[in-house]
Amino acid sequence: MARYKRFGHGRAEEDQVLSAINTTPLVDVMLVLLIIFLITVPVVTQTVKMTLPKEQNIPTQTKPENIVLGVDTHNTIYWNTLPMKSQEELLARLVKEAKKTPQPEVHIRGDAEAKYAPIGRIVLAVQQAGIVKIAFITEPPARN
């Protein structure tokens, strides 16, 4: 009589639950990812060699002929302390100042909460008036 081996029925020792986690696939995937990153990172970080300008903190030199324009939190444009009623009024005053020799500098002060639009309108008006020098007045960060 022939003996047949039955599948699915083994010894009791083989039926125990395997409680160890096989980390081989995890290690394989991590090694593949590491190799991919090692190959792609140098390609991504390539840049053109250039010398960038160094930061310089130049204190403002307030001269009486300088024009100080400001924007507050309500987006009102000020010429020193005088509020400007319209863009046309600002442009007319800037055109008058642009004809002076030497031409005055325009210093723009913007509140941290102000929107960019009025500051952009100031820059546009200064350019339209033909004034060459524009500066933005900021506060330096606190040094620790």
Sequence-distant contacts of 53-59: CB under 8 A, at least 24 apart: 57/140
pLDDT over 60 (residue 11): no
List CB contacts of 73: < 8 A, sequence separation 6 or more. 111, 113, 114
Q: Which two tokens stand for residue 107?
A: 């210093």
What confidence tier does 29 reach under pLDDT thresholds 50, 70, 90?
very high
Q: Which of 62, 75, 69 lies closest to 112 in space, CA to CA?
A: 75
Whether 18 shows a pLDDT value over 60: the answer reads yes
Q: How far apart are CA 122 and CA 61, in angstroms?
A: 21
Looking at the structure of the chain, the number of domains it has is 1
30 part of a folded domain:
no
Q: What is the pLDDT of residues 109-120, one digit of tens each?
A: 888 888 889 999
pLDDT at 126: 93
Q: What is the CA radius of gyration of the chain?
A: 36
Banded model confidence at residue 37, pLDDT cuts 50, 70, 90: confident
For residue 94, what is the domain's CATH number?
3.30.420
Asked whether residue 51 is assigned to any structural domain, the reply reads no
Q: What domain range includes position 75?
A: 67-137
pLDDT tens profile 64-96:
678 899 999 888 999 988 999 999 999 999 999
- The whole-number pLDDT of residue 78 equals 92
Classify residue 40: in a domain, yes or no. Answer: no
